[in-house]
A and B are shown apart, each in its own frame.
Chain A
Amino acid sequence: MKNILVTGGAGFIGSHIVDALIDRGHRVRVLDALVEQVHGGAGPQHLNPKAEFLQGDVCDADLVNRALEGIEVVYHKAAEVGVGQSMYEIGRYVRANDFGTAVLLEAIVKRRPQIKKLVVASSMSIYGEGAYACDSCGPVQPKLRPLSQLLDRDWEINCPQCGAKAKPVPTNEDKPLFPSSVYAISKQDQEQFCLVVGRAYDIPVVALRYFNVYGPRQALSNPYTGVCAIFSGRLLNDEAPMIFEDGEQTRDFVHVSDIVQANMLALETDKADYEAVNIGTGSPISVSDISLMLAQGLHKDIKPQITAKYREGDIRHCVADISRARKLLGYEPKVKLADGIPELLDWVRQQQAENTTKATAELEQHQLVR
């Protein structure tokens, strides 16, 4: 039994981790600010009653220091989450994700050797575009598509060397990072901070790079995150999901229980210490197909609206190469999309979804959708 702190432990992913830790007999303390955008001004709805709860900001050094009292393991899940919104609420994202992590790390360093492990939530967004292969040039790592290409509505990626169309391939952890939003930069900073400070002070750190996470408890009330939640919310309101570009862009959707699995394995083994590890499924699916699966599951005869617009900083394809997770953590994704979507939709049906038009209108106002 360990004493474990989970920052952001009342949130979507954090609360599932808290449940799993308590199920395994650990004593858990949660530090969570209950941000209104995520929690809708309500209390901690998913907080395990066996967890000790501290409400507050991870930027509050005194509170963080108190939260670490007696703690041996820290799961750092607290973060502002939302690619589009981060592009105009810049200070807020940097404060919460960069500054908050620095506050936590300083407090951890001051308490060493008390803290035996830190598991930090990172994100596939730090890669920017995923990895690609060109028939002529081999493996290539393109950056974001240039504006001129997007204005021509030419969506697929060109090989940066010869200009021919390149094919997406699984992205491994060695791919250079090209974060293309303030959110992605702040997640990259969080990860690097934790890994570098961990190495410097011999505090084992595991950074888990989550791909597109979905599942119950996902905040439908937050119109700024999670394409599954956003599409479900619109479908529940009998509105067509709005899809940017042509809908053929692909992502790797991973069920929250597989994210929990990876987090538990990171605690149990030391093989992934000081490493960054992709956590996804390795299977790509197009955004259009996700929309259709959700509509079908909700018994809504609503086709997605393909806008042919593009969103600033969006990537075309990114799917995880999970070889490192398999090798170091013994991780194996268990929930297939066909099984995970109905469970998500059971959750969705119980929820009041916010209208996401507001979020899109804000992006348009800041000229981030064109």
Chain B
Amino acid sequence: MNIWITGCSGFVGTRLAQHLVANQHDVTALSPQDCAAASQTVTIDLTAQDSPRVIEKLAAPEVVVHAYSKESGPGELLDFVDANVHATSNLIEGLTQQPPRLIIYTSTLSVYGRPSVIPVDEAGPAGGTLPYGATKRWAEQLLETFQRYTRIIVLRLPSLYGADQQESFVDNLARIAQRDEPIELLARGELVRDALHISDVLRAVDNCISQPPADSFTILNLGCGKRTTTMEYARALVDALGSKSDITPVDRLTSDFDFYADISAARQQIAFAPMSLAESMKVYADELR
């Protein structure tokens, strides 16, 4: 199958390209830099004003996985708007004349901001806090207007971990655990977090491609599907790595808040079935080795 991936230089995009190429798909990266994981790269800056015209001239893909994003964290407001909103608008404008049969957008659970109840489902108020969650939500809304042309699936992703990922809290724990250093968990290790190994997301994308939901526009939460504390993540990780790290809950507060997503819609509509925490950490530990 002819598949385009945007954001191929990022963690999710790279892993997706590797995975889809390994599954015999013809993967074209739409990227400013060459993407070694893809079958080929079309050099394009999606934030550039002429990018829709460049896209119009390309042979139409069957599926587009839109993973281009400025990730959560510090940054200028403009960078978030440019990468998350402007790039999305240019992509869909370029695809108007030759829409693919499916667009999968990797969004984020951050669109919910700090929800008043957990687990939060897809009907929960979205908008998030500026700039990351809000700009990802705006990109979702732009894609929703494109449903007249094609089917859109928005996957709202939790924190992701995996080898080569730098930023997530599980990866940070892993770096400490690999050095057998003590792990301190704020808020007594009782904070509820939602995280997945990247391979769960890759399987979800496979399912979206092979058996997409019937609706023209679908938003699906992905996540571990159960209330899981940072202490539980840390213990499972230390066990999987065979680390000698001591885990110490400390009383210091954190600005993070309890969060996990209701994934029943994804279970039902794309047969999403995340690995158990122990399985997930074993896969991750094997990767790290």
Chain A interface (Cβ < 8 Å from any Cβ of B)? 61, 87-91, 93-95, 98-99, 102-103, 105-106, 179-182, 185, 188-189, 192-193, 196-197, 200, 312-313, 366-367
Contacts and interface: CB of A to CB of B under 8 A. Distances in A.
A193 B92 CA distance: 23
A102 B89 contact: no
B85 A94 contact: yes
B85 A91 contact: no
Interface in B50-92: 51-52, 76-78, 81-82, 85-86, 88-90, 92
A87 B145 contact: yes
A90 B78 contact: no
B77 A91 contact: no
Contacts of A192: 127, 130, 134
B81 A90 contact: no
B169 interface: no
Which one of A94, A106, A189, A200 has the highest number of Cβ atoms from chain B below 10 Å of its Cβ? A94
Contact of B138 (A98, A105, A313): A98
A91 B89 contact: yes
A98 B129 CA distance: 16
A106 B244 CA distance: 47
B200 interface: no
A87 to B, nearest CB: 7
A103 B88 CA distance: 18
Nearest to B53: A91
Given A90-B93, A197-B77, A312-B148, A98 B130 contact: no
B172 interface: no
A88 B85 CA distance: 16
A185 B86 contact: no
Q: Which 10 A-B pairs have the closest CB atoms?
A: A94-B89, A90-B93, A102-B81, A91-B90, A90-B89, A196-B130, A185-B141, A102-B78, A91-B93, A91-B89
Nearest to B216: A147
Contacts of B93: 88-91
Which one of B76, B82, B90, B138 has the highest number of Cβ atoms from chain A below 10 Å of its Cβ? B138
B78 A185 contact: no
Contact of A91 (B52, B78, B127): B52
B76 A189 contact: no
Nearest to A147: B148
B138 A182 contact: no
B96 A88 contact: yes
Interface in B169-200: none
A68 to B, nearest CB: 15
A182 B139 CA distance: 10
Given A98-B81, A103-B78, A367 B148 contact: yes
Nearest to B130: A196
B142 interface: yes
Given A91-B52, A91-B90, 10 more contacts: A87-B145, A89-B93, A90-B96, A91-B93, A102-B82, A106-B76, A106-B78, A182-B145, A188-B141, A313-B145
Given A88-B96, A89-B93, A98-B86, A185 B81 contact: no
Contacts of A87: 145
Contacts of A61: 78
A181 B134 CA distance: 17
A98 B76 CA distance: 14
Contacts of A189: 85, 134, 138
9 contacts: A90-B52, A90-B92, A91-B86, A91-B93, A95-B89, A99-B82, A106-B77, A193-B130, A200-B130
A197 B135 CA distance: 13
A103 to B, nearest CB: 6
Nearest to B50: A91
B77 A99 contact: no
Contacts of B78: 61, 99, 102-103, 106
Which one of B82, B88, B89, B90 has the highest number of Cβ atoms from chain A below 10 Å of its Cβ? B89
B2 interface: no
Contacts of A313: 145
B142 A94 contact: yes
Contacts of B43: none
Nearest to B95: A90
Contacts of A102: 77-78, 81-82
Contacts of B82: 99, 102
B49 interface: yes
A185 B138 contact: yes
B66 to A, nearest CB: 14
B134 A91 contact: no
Contacts of B127: 192
A16 B170 CA distance: 56
B81 to A, nearest CB: 4
A179 B52 CA distance: 23
Contact of B134 (A106, A182, A196): A196
Nearest to A195: B130
Nearest to B80: A102
Which one of A91, A93, A94, A95 has the highest number of Cβ atoms from chain B below 10 Å of its Cβ? A91
Contact of B142 (A182, A312, A367): A182
B142 A91 contact: no
A93 B89 contact: yes
A207 to B, nearest CB: 15
Which one of A87, A89, A189, A192 has the highest number of Cβ atoms from chain B below 10 Å of its Cβ? A189
Contacts of A99: 78, 81-82, 85-86
B238 to A, nearest CB: 39
A182 B96 CA distance: 14
Nearest to B145: A182
B70 to A, nearest CB: 12
Nearest to A196: B130
Interface in B138-177: 138, 141-142, 145, 148
B96 A366 contact: yes
